[in-house]
Structure 1
Amino acid sequence: MPIPVIDFSKLNGEERATTMVQIAKGCEEWGFFQLVNHGISVDLLERVKKVSTECYKIEREEEFFKNSTPVKRLKELIDKKSGEKLENIDWEDVFLISDDYEWPQKTQGFRETMMEYRSELKKLTEKVMEVMDENLGIPKGYIKKVLNGGEGEKAFFGTKVSHYPACPHPEMVTGLRAHTDAGGVILLFQDDEVDGLEILKDGKWIDVQPIANSIVINTGDQIEVLSNGRYKSVWHRVNAKSNGTRRSIASFYNPSYNATIAPAPELIEKENETVNHLCYPKFVFGDYMSIYTEQKFLPKEPRFQAVRAV
């Protein structure tokens, strides 16, 4: 069962209404969908692939296999011959970039390419959020304004560059443990050759099929709250693989730490207002993140309950 694949360019033509419905279903029924013809050029995406792969090879790979905790822990487990599986650790090399962070220095063209990519991706994110506004029946620009904590550009737009190296014993370790994403809207440029990403739907793990130059969209915990539960954040994971290194570039439009998050007033039925607020509390995103940091790989519902008490 493949996750929905949506031609984003059709928003601007005769098939706009159909495309809006497809996106609504992607948000409501899946929590994940893939966009093709999204407006980011193939040339730029190819350059992103190139510099990301080169960065891993030049600046990251040797250190991962020589000194990283997952490699050391896996070797210890193999030596024990116990048949156990590594718990509470991910077979992942990862670093975060944003406009204010220190960037990799040794990979030619990395900063320039990723700055251009992030600029284009942020524009796409804002278009996607406007579609969500329209589909939810809330004012245009509402989600963006809430995530920014009001007017201005105070939301955090970060990019996580991950590689999941070929693993000699993928049955003994997870690439990335199952979790939901804490923030707002997440846009993933995933490897189109090495698979491994799965989402949990109807109690079954389903592959997010690799499609060249597509952008995978998923909604985080804060969109679930803002939408009053219509758009659910979905459990997902990455399996370790033995057949190659998986590249994964996830960018996320997250609220400002001072942003107040609550269900949009238009989505709360007056007669059910008390019930809905019991389900989704009003809170400050920074308080939520302090809880999420400790409970990322645990069920999300207790996080909502815990932040209510902050």
Structure 2
Amino acid sequence: MAIPVIDFSKVNGTGEERARTMAQIANGCEEWGFFQLMNHGIPEELLEKVKKVCSEYFKLEREEIFKNSAVANTLKALAEKNSGENLENVDWEDVITLLDDNEWPSKTPGFKETMIEYRAELKKLAEKVMEVMDENLSLPKGSIKKAFDDGEGQNAFFGTKVSHYPPCPHPELVNGLRAHTDAGGVILLFQDDVVGGLQILKRWAMD
């Protein structure tokens, strides 16, 4: 069964078309907890720039660091041991998390400017998604966003996780990225459209 695919531009419309779109989003939230957005408003040109600068960043500034990381060294030792064991409880992943006040990479041209612009677009989209959820739940506009804030004038945590999955020298010994549940209230995922692999597990609640 395919996950719901929703034309998000139609929430700005009126009448039956908008009502159907709102119902599709409600179904995605209630039955899946996941849905794909089309026409979400983030410019395609910006998304292409994000892919470009992130790829360059991991190549220029992270490749050697990951090769000497604990997970890479552990996998190397396990392969040399040749015991038939697999590398458990780890992810073959290099990752950084961007915040508003983090120290920005300095060697990758355009990385900071592109990712600041991208984060601004993500924030706008997340707030729009939450407003749609407010409406579907018959809550006042801004209720979900307010619930994520701490009540003392501080905004909810807003981080942008950037993940890279380097070629693995011994893929038979590691599972890649383990099954997991994302932590957070609203997760917006921009998946690589060249190398797939994303899987979603749908669970039905039992009455």
CA shift for structure 1 position 181: 2.1
Q: Higher relative contact order by CA 8 Å / sep ≥ 6: 1 or 2?
A: 2
Which residue of structure 2 lines up, in the alignment, with residue 49 of structure 1? 51
Q: Deviations over 1:20-78 (max 9, x none)?
A: 1111111111111111100010111111111111101100112212x011211111121
Report the CA distance shift for 1:10/1:151 in structure 2 as closer, same or farther (over 3 A).
Answer: farther
Counterpart secondary structure, 1:114: helix
TM-score (norm 1): 0.62
Aligned to 1:20: 22
Please name the residue that 2:97 is paired with: 96
8 Å CA contact retained: 1:85, 1:173: yes
Q: Does 1:9 align with 2:28?
A: no
Q: 2:86 matched to which residue of 1?
A: 85
Matched residues in 1 for 2:129 and 2:175: separation? 31
For the structure 1 residues 186 and 56, does the alpha-carbon distance in structure 2 shift closer, same or farther, using more than 3 Å as the test? same
Could you tell me how far 1:122 is from its partner in structure 2?
0.2
Alpha-carbon distance in 2 for matches of 1:99, 1:115? 8
Q: Note the residue ranges of structure 2 that are not aligned, 5 or more in a row.
A: none
Partner-residue secondary structure (3-state), 2:100: coil
Question: Matched residues in 2 for 1:185 and 1:40: separation?
Answer: 17
The residue that corresponds to 2:171 in the other structure is: 170
Q: Is the 8 A contact 1:145 1:151 kept in 2?
A: no
Indicate the residue corresponding to 1:306 in structure 2.
Answer: none
Inter-partner Cα distance in structure 1 for 2:200 and 2:46? 28
Which amino acid is 1:142 matched to?
Answer: S
Shift of 1:157: 0.8
Per-residue deviation, 1:8: 0.4
Provide the identity percentage.
Answer: 71
User: Partner of 1:35: helix, strand, or coil?
Assistant: strand
Alignment correspondent of 1:61: 63
Q: For the residues of structure 2 that align with 1:126 and 1:81, how far apart are their CA atoms?
A: 50
Q: Aligned pair in 2 of structure 1 residues 23, 171: CA closer, same or farther (>3 Å)?
A: farther
Q: CA deviation at 1:152?
A: 4.3
Q: Which has the higher strand share?
A: 1
Q: Map 1:1-310 onto structure 2 (within 5 A).
A: 1-14=1-14, 15-65=17-67, 67-150=68-151, 152-202=153-203
SS at match of 1:122: helix
Q: Distance in 1 between matches of 2:136 and 2:90?
A: 38
The alpha-carbon distance between structure 1 residues 194 and 151, as it changes in their structure 2 partners (threshold 3 A), is same
On the 8 A contact 2:32/2:203 being kept in 1, the answer is no
Provide the TM-score with structure 2 as the length reference. 0.92
> Distance between the aligned counterparts of 1:113 and 1:163, measured in 2?
17
Which 5+ residue runs of structure 1 have no aligned equivalent? Answer: 204-228, 230-310
Could you tell me which amino acid in structure 2 is paired with residue 162 of structure 1?
A: S
- The whole-number CA distance in structure 1 between the counterparts of 2:42 and 2:199 is 24
| CA distance in structure 2 between the aligned counterparts of 1:2 and 1:72, rounded to whole angstroms | 39
Deviations, residues 79-125 of structure 1 (Å, cap 9, x unaligned): 22222211121100011111111111110110011000100110000
Deviations 1:189-232 (A, max 9, x none): 110011122222249xxxxxxxxxxxxxxxxxxxxxxxxx9xxx
Contact 2:10 2:21 in 1 (8 A): yes
CA RMSD between the two structures: 1.7
